[in-house]
Chains A and B, each alone.
Chain A
């Protein structure tokens, strides 16, 4: 057992897979000699060399296209998109090419690749470098999408993603890189499609992702202590495949659902979960299902403004407490 930072867990997860299989390679901008702009790939170039950890020009389309071509013909590439916002620059590959290859070719070709990307805000980079785009990737048929919240999940889900024969978008959270967590020794391999109940409870279900998991846990403590509300917090971890069993099972137990989402309001990932719950466990709902999200605005650069936008512990506590007590807001 050891305490490891989230960014060191990224390094360890990638290294674990690259040691296991020589067809696993890493490409991206400044990921090699420089160790990555977030220092999340430090040491990999030294261990695996310039042919397996390869720096690219600023060419997002070429990076993803090359990853796709290599994956189609026998390699297992991990491609980095430095900021998840850049997905918009190479969206053709994320939406049109990679996820549809297997279906259009009637199963002849697949894309066993991983696209890892720095997602999320709270680091004062401004509107075009702070977005949470997990919902953009969730909505495209043929992709798998994960967003780990802790170092141990980073390693386990990286292993699961690399080993998965389908294309996986791996959302790392920029504001979590410095956070630490306990990680056991040895190989860690997790499973895609499984959520985790990180705090059991009986009064309401709070579903969250990545950075929002930490905030939901903070809010749950205060809700229990000051409001007598015992919240069950679920870390979704995997948006596609989605662990509906876990989430719906919890809602049946508590009768109340809240989601905490960093993406902007419209068509956020929580909207899909609320919709599934309304459809499948309608007769177990004891009150309205409420989404707590960043408002539907571009993110500001100013720190005080950004902190108002992204759901905070205080805002989560306030909303849950008020709704549980029957008032609107």
Chain B
């Protein structure tokens, strides 16, 4: 066993020392307490004693040489070293703050354009948010204000300006692309079934007429998983079906739609009809034989557990072929859940007259960068990509992005355990 002799810490602010004398030479026997060397710092001169016994086998920092505190100055051979006892394991207190102790605040999310875009007109933060969320163009709004000699825009001004200039708020469309026919050379012919034929026409029409923009955001599902893991055995026992991620996502969607009502709307010519209720369409795959999107009415009134039950009922009905017309109509927003096969992203097609549709793909452990006070580390985190295809005629990318950001925030920070523990369905 060898033991390192290090340049000692000789004062709280001392960083280095100069060895001014060695009292032992290489080959000398050293006992505990023997003087080894004398070191000089800018504050003191001290003789350093040996804390281990052995034979001095190497002197690395010689007389009149300076070294930093902690440097190995010599090596001792042959001291006995006891095997270290394994460290006692202390279970840390579970840390479950809802707010980071480093921030101690829940910083507002969302980004609503540059204040400077309004030029000489002063626009309050609230007004800027309302301008974006109502699909207005701040440049146009500011210009309108200037024309009327209004130099400050607050919420009241925005309301007033909106009354006046509704028609100029919407952007101009690009003409839709014609779908191209693809020829197949040889191979088997699979006739499309009725469901596929009907839905196929509609899908094509939607694709042609709606300017789709797809945006995605990565969400961390750790908090969801914690609540789900807790509850799933009981849920399965009581309901006979599994508790998946989908009800959590649906719940988060309902909450986010509350803050971003334009996403929960129907486009009707030149007007956006905001719906008070969330009628949530859930895309259900019929064993690769087609897709149906049954609608859960008033989904906003249901809790996560309530949604889980409602979704399970709808899926059963769908697979049994028992969906009625009422089940398939009145939707205001849809979710397409594609994660079962491990896909990363899906850009779904919007169900007109809805203006957006959410896609959720595989939720699994991914290598993620975690920032800590000690530096950045790669850690496995349960994440999933949540995407939204939206109708660019109804609102802009900023609004959609803000919605997704809000959705992510809900997924990641909502107290799911508390909500599930209440046991309520609505």
Contacts and interface: CB of A to CB of B under 8 A. Distances in A.
Contacts of A283: 108, 110, 112, 125-126, 128-129
Contacts of A74: none
B107 A255 contact: no
Q: A interface, how many residues as a size bin?
A: 10 to 19
A287 B153 CA distance: 10
A276 B107 CA distance: 9
B107 A286 contact: no
Interface string B186-229: 00000000000000000000000000000000000000000000
Nearest to B109: A283
B127 interface: yes
Contact of A279 (B107, B126, B127): B107
B126 A286 contact: yes
Contact of A286 (B110, B112, B127): B127
B152 A326 contact: yes
B21 to A, nearest CB: 42
Interface string B117-134: 000000011111100000
B129 A279 contact: no
A280 B107 contact: yes
Given A255-B126, A287-B124, A282 B155 contact: no
B185 interface: no
Interface string B381-408: 0000000000000000000000000000
B413 to A, nearest CB: 13
A284 B128 CA distance: 9
Interface in B140-169: 152, 154-155
B43 interface: no
B105 A279 contact: yes
Interface string A276-294: 1001111111110000000
Contact of B105 (A276, A285, A287): A276
Contacts of B180: none
A54 to B, nearest CB: 38
A255 B155 contact: yes
A53 to B, nearest CB: 40
Nearest to B105: A279
Contacts of B155: 255, 286
Interface string A160-174: 000000000000000
B114 interface: no
Interface string B212-255: 00000000000000000000000000000000000000000000
B106, B110, B152: most-surrounded residue (chain A CB, <10 A): B106
A280 B152 CA distance: 23
Nearest to A284: B126
Interface string A189-219: 0000000000000000000000000000000
A280 B127 contact: no
A279 B124 contact: no
Nearest to B124: A286
Nearest to B132: A283
Contact of B108 (A255, A282, A286, A287): A282
Nearest to A283: B129
A34 to B, nearest CB: 44
B251 to A, nearest CB: 21
A262 B129 CA distance: 34
B114 to A, nearest CB: 14
A31 to B, nearest CB: 37
A285 B107 contact: no
B106, B112, B126, B155: most-surrounded residue (chain A CB, <10 A): B126
Contact of B125 (A276, A279, A285): A285
A279 B99 CA distance: 14
Contacts of A287: 124, 154
A326 B121 CA distance: 13
Contacts of B127: 286
A310 B262 CA distance: 48
Contacts of B108: 279-283
Nearest to A326: B152
A281, A282, A326: most-surrounded residue (chain B CB, <10 A): A282
A276 B104 CA distance: 9
B112, B124, B127: most-surrounded residue (chain A CB, <10 A): B124
Contacts of B106: 280
Contacts of A284: 125-126, 129
Contacts of A255: 124, 126, 154-155
Contacts of A281: 108
Contacts of A276: 105
A79 B107 CA distance: 39
Interface in A42-62: none
Given A255-B154, A282-B108, A283-B108, 10 more contacts: A255-B124, A280-B105, A280-B107, A280-B108, A283-B112, A285-B125, A285-B126, A286-B125, A286-B154, A287-B124
14 contacts: A255-B124, A255-B126, A255-B154, A280-B105, A280-B106, A280-B107, A282-B108, A283-B110, A283-B125, A283-B126, A283-B128, A285-B126, A286-B127, A286-B155
Nearest 4 A/B pairs, CB to CB: A283-B129, A286-B126, A286-B124, A286-B154
